Structures are given as structure tokens and as C-alpha cells.
Chain A
Amino acid sequence: MMDDLFGNIVLGLSTALIPANIGYCFIGVFLGMLVGVLPGIGALAAISMLFPITFHLHPASGLMMLAGIYYGAAYGGSTTSILLNLPGDPSSSVTCLDGYPMAQQGRSGVALLLTTLASFVAASAGILIMMLFSPLIVDASLRFGDAEYFSLMLLGLVAASTISVGSGLKGIAMVVVGIGLGTVGVDMYTGVPRFTLGMMELWEGLSIVAVAMGLFGIAEIITSVQAAESNKVEPKAVTFRSMIPTRDDWRRFPKAAARGSAVGAFFGALPGTGVLIASFMAYALEKRVSKEPQRFGRGAVEGVVSPEAANNAAGQTAFIPTMTLGIPGSATMALILGALIVHGINPGPRLMMEHPDVFWGLVMSFWVGNVLLLVLNLPLIGIWIRLLKVPYRILYPAIMMFVCIGVYSINNSVFDVWLVILFGGLGYFLRLLGFPPAPLILGFVLGHMMEEHFRRAMILAHGNFLTFVERPLSAVIMAMTAALLAWGVWSALRSRPPLPLEE
């Protein structure tokens, strides 16, 4: 087993260290940091915008780039939180609590240095966990049948829609709408074209790029154009001298980083919880174990280090269920899976065996990317600060252009451009009505697979619906799903104030 691991590491490194792949990884983490720093453009929008480019790349290279955007954004988001008290990326909102007070005390340099270090340590821990546990999960999953897969996907979808987004009921509604949109196209069992409305272009289904770019790219532009006008910020320059932590800071750092990494790694791997919940949990834990909880909110170092460690560890472990079981825990992970699917790679436990270069190359590229981030983040802070002054007036036409050209470039098809516009309008109204778009994408990507597993499980069980609760493993998963669902509906009915969370 250790020999296997060693061989896999070598294989992964030989893929990840190809100069071109280092280049794609660099582009990914650089863009990730960029969108992480800039408030208003999230990793999700950035990934959907770069998605079309991956069609023209080797699947491993494309994945490395998209993944880089994802974890790069987790690094970059803390910068804006600390300097401006404005989370550049939703996952860094907790960092504002103590990061901004530190900046007000003239300690922004220390905060930035320590979050960067914490991010690196935590990400490394996350990658190690992924390397050790992924093969074990794949082994265990070989005992799963269609019923188990269907139950797991259902659990993932219910968890993602009830936990991390405001109204559970609305989240579930969006998942179902997403699955429904996923049924468009030729039915794989009977060959009947469904919901194609006589359009040949729809036989292969709706393009995931068009759906994602419309819901996240275009809808985000429409929402932000008016809101972002008043973005006048004057962050102070950060010098290298100001980054030197005190001895007290160093004393507090290791434990906070370790606790944050552990919390993050755990919540990151669970479906539906993701980086945002992980960082909130880490902050809460840190405050609880602290001997002086009154320091929190006034510039406590632990309050910055621990949540940032958590969101970076979670950012890495989120890849575990996605890459081993083919079950994404968040919309971002769903897009990463989508990138595999468009290359004809079936996500699931066989991925690691059939395409070890893709799997281990991606894992090893995480190291490359994190080293790049560690090296780049601090020296580039001056550039990021200047970038914060670029007005949205100039940014949004550029985003609109990239979305349109990007979606057109996949098949040179104007049809996809019309789809993106349609979903942009739809996405805007969904946001307006408080429906979270992220679960829709999850449902859309998982929909095909769910239907396939569901129908095959039913064929195997000779039409007995109870198969999902008669098989012990499936029954356990179904019970968890039912509990979550009950909780989601119950909390929606007693009108819990919605948390505007999105990943």
C-alpha cells in the first residue's frame, strides 16, 4: 500500500511538473487569487468563465487550472477581508471579524503573513489527507451498488441545499429544478428525446457551460452593476517590515493553525458543508477553547489564523468525495466534475484506476499551486491593492465579453449563446426571489447520474421501491437524508431568518 502510494506520487509529479501544466496551474491560482481579492466576482463565476477553455486542453491540465482558481480564491479572499473589512470571497467573511481590527491597529501586515502561512499549512494537511484516504474510500466504495449511489447522491444534494444556503425549502426546489433541466436530451435507456421541443441542438442536453455561466456570470453582472458603483476604497500600503509577527503571535499560531486545519479538513470532506461553514466552525471553536475569549473581535491572531486555515483545508478535502465517489459537495465541485464529464471521463471510483494520471496529477498540482500561492501572495499584495481600485464599470463589460465568446467558442454555436442569455435572465429573477442558484447546478450535474442509478437499481430490484431501505448501507444513508430533509422543511416552516450564504 505504501509502495502504491509512492508510485502514485511519482506518477502524479511527472504529470504535474510538466512545464505546460505548471503554467496552467499558475494561471489558475493567479486568477483564483485575483477573483478572491476582488469582491463581487466569486470563484464560481471565474470557474464557469474559464470552463470553455478546458475543452481545448488535456483533462488533467484543465482540471489543474479550474482547481487552482478554487483554492486560490480561498487564499486571496482573506486579503480584502483584512484590509477593507469586506470579504473578497464569501469563504473569508469570518476573517473580517478579527482581521480588520488588526488592520486598524496597524497590524495588517502581520495578519496577512500569518493567514498566508496558515493557509499553506492547512492546505498541505488537506492534501496529505486526500492522498492517504482517497484510495481507502475507493476500496470501500467498490461494495456500493446502484441503490447506494443513488442514496449517496440524494444525501449530497439534500445536504448541500439545506445546510449551506439560507432557506432549505428553496434550496431543495432549486436542486429539483436542476435535475429537471438535466433530463433534457435523449433518454439513455429508451433513446427518446425529452424536452427537446424539436431542436436538434438539445439532443445532447443543455450545455453545462451555458447553464453555469448564465446563472453565475451573467446574473451576477446584472445584480452587481448598480450595487458596485459606489466602490470607493483606499487601502493603505503594506510594507514588508510591518509583516513581522511578535513573539506572542508566534506562540499562538501553531495551535490555532492546527485546530483550524482539523476542523476544515473534516467539514470540507462532508457533502454540503464546504469552506464557509468550516471557517465559521473553526472560529467558534477557537473562541471556545481560548482562555481569553474577550480578545476575539478586537484583533485576536487566532481569530484570523484558525478560520483561514479551516477554509483552505476544506478547499482541499472537498475534492475527496468529488474525485473518489463522483459526488460533489458544492456547486464549484460540480463544475469540476462537469469538466471531467465533457472530456468523456466518468467520475466515480473507477476514475482513480482508469485515469491515475488525472487523479494523482491533480493532487500533486495542489502542492505546486500552494507553493506558488505562498510565494506569490505577499509580494503581490501591492498589485492586489491597486486592482481593488479598478472600477466595476470597466470590469463588467469585459466579463460579459468573456462569457459570450467563451460559450460560443465551445462548438462555434450561437445556440449556446442564446442559452446563456436565457439562463442569465432566469438566474437574475431567481436571485431576486431569494432562490440560491448553486444547488441548481449541483442538481443539474448529478441529475443524469441519479436517474441512471435510480432506474438501474429499480431494474435490479424488479420494481421494488423498498430496495433503497432494504439494503442496509443504503438504508443508513436514506435515514440521514430523511433527517436532514425533515430539519430543512421544519426550519423553513418556522421562517428562520435566512443566511445569505453562497459558495
Chain B
Amino acid sequence: MTRTFDSKELVGAIAITTGGIALGGYAWMHYPMGSPAQMGPGFFPVALGVILVGIGLLLAMTAMRGSGSFPAVEWKSLVAVLLSGAFFALTVDRFGLVPAVVGLVIIVRAADKKYSVLGSIALASILAVIAVLIFRIGLSMPFAIVRGPG
């Protein structure tokens, strides 16, 4: 007989337990605990870590009794959205607001089922104009709109 368990719940339980060990362990090694009357910087984080490990183990217990599978990850949406943010982060200081926004929109649209190049460029231009109007002109924030490299 094979034991059934809920793999989604188990992954969650392991993540919480690992997080607890990492938080508590790191604090234990690097920061003094102090005494209850005069707590050091390590006391609170170590306590949190211990609680997390406890919750993780409880979650693991419930996971071992259920059955279920790991849900499907929307890799395409995930990668497109995170990459578009990364593009913005990499370009906004060096090239300015408009190039960063245009690139962001064109990349994030890749999450769509149907990708239309023209549609993306049109949307990117409209949103870039809106961004400049709201943030640079409306709220007069000190962004460079376009900046040459170097």
C-alpha cells in the first residue's frame, strides 16, 4: 500500500519549516540572545523561527493525511511579469522613464495568449505618455524622461 499525501500542502509545510530554520538559525549564529530582562537583537527572531518550525511540522502532519497534487504554475505569466519588472529596474536610471516603460509593456504583454506586436507597441506608447503626464508633469517627480547612455 502506498501512503497518500497532499504534495501541495507538503511543499508549503517544508517551505515554512525551512524558513523558520533559516530565520532562527541565522539569528542564533549572528546576534546575541541577551537575557529575558535585557533581550538582545537575536531573541525575537529566534523565537519566531522556533514558532515557524512548529507550525511547519503541524502543517506537515495535516499534509500527510490528505491527498492532492501540486497546482500548475503559470510559468509564462510569471516569467513575463517578473522580467518586465527587471527590465524596468535595469533601464530606468540609465535610459529614463519612457524607454523603461515601453520595454516593460512590450515584455509583460508576452504573458498573453495572443501576442500582437503592433498592439503592444501602441499600448506601450499610450502608457508611456500617460506615465509622463501623471508622474513627471502632474506630480512633478524628478525623473528623467529620456536619457542618453553614459
Contacts and interface: CB of A to CB of B under 8 A. Distances in A.
Contact of A409 (B11, B40, B105, B141): B141
A223 interface: yes
B35 interface: yes
A190 B33 CA distance: 11
Interface stretch (A355-363, A378-386, A424-432): A424-432
Interface string A218-245: 1001110110010000000000000000
A53 interface: yes
A412 interface: yes
Contacts of B78: 222, 425, 428
Contact of B85 (A187, A194, A218): A218
A298 interface: no
Given A192-B31, A195-B26, A397 B127 contact: yes
Nearest to B55: A173
B58 A405 contact: no
Interface in B66-112: 66, 71, 73-74, 76-78, 80-82, 84-86, 88-90, 92-93, 97, 100-101, 104-105, 108-109, 111-112
B139 interface: yes
Nearest to A399: B108
Contact of A458 (B36, B65, B89, B93): B36
Interface stretch (A73-81, A119-127, A474-482, A489-497): A489-497
A190 B55 CA distance: 29
B31 A462 contact: no
Contact of A400 (B27, B62, B84): B84
B37 A225 contact: no
Contacts of A493: 58, 61-62
Given A218-B81, A421-B86, A169 B41 contact: no
Most buried by A among B55, B101, B113: B55
Interface string B30-70: 01000111111101110011011001101101100110000
Nearest to A179: B48
Interface residues of B, number: 70
B77 to A, nearest CB: 4
B11 A433 contact: yes
Given A169-B58, A183-B48, A393-B112, A424 B81 contact: yes
Given A405-B131, A434-B8, A495-B65, A53 B139 contact: yes
Interface string A176-211: 110110010001011010110000000000000000
Contact of B81 (A221, A409, A432, A489): A221
B97 A465 contact: no
Nearest to B135: A405
Contact of A176 (B40, B48, B139): B48
A169 B37 contact: no
Given A195-B26, A222-B74, A401-B101, A189 B92 contact: no
A225 B101 contact: no
B146 interface: no
A107 to B, nearest CB: 37
B26 A492 contact: no
B45 A194 contact: yes
A51 interface: no
Interface in A440-465: 451, 454-455, 458-459, 461-465
Given A180-B45, A408-B92, A454-B44, A492 B39 contact: no
Contacts of A397: 104-105, 108-109, 123-124, 127
A405 B85 contact: no
A190, A225, A428 — which one has the most chain B CB atoms within 10 A of its CB?
Answer: A225
Contacts of B139: 53, 56, 409
B12 A463 contact: no
A455 B39 contact: yes
Given A173-B59, A222-B77, A226-B77, A190 B45 contact: no
B23 interface: yes
A458 B19 CA distance: 27
Residue among B11, B86, B135 with max Cβ neighbours from chain A (10 Å): B135
A180 B48 contact: yes
Interface string B124-147: 100100110001000101110000
Please name the 10 residue pairs, one residue from A and one from B, whose CB atoms are nearest each other, closest first: A463-B37, A463-B36, A187-B41, A417-B89, A433-B12, A421-B85, A192-B41, A225-B77, A404-B88, A225-B111
16 contacts: A173-B55, A173-B56, A177-B19, A187-B31, A195-B45, A222-B77, A223-B77, A400-B81, A400-B84, A405-B101, A405-B131, A409-B143, A414-B90, A434-B12, A455-B43, A463-B37
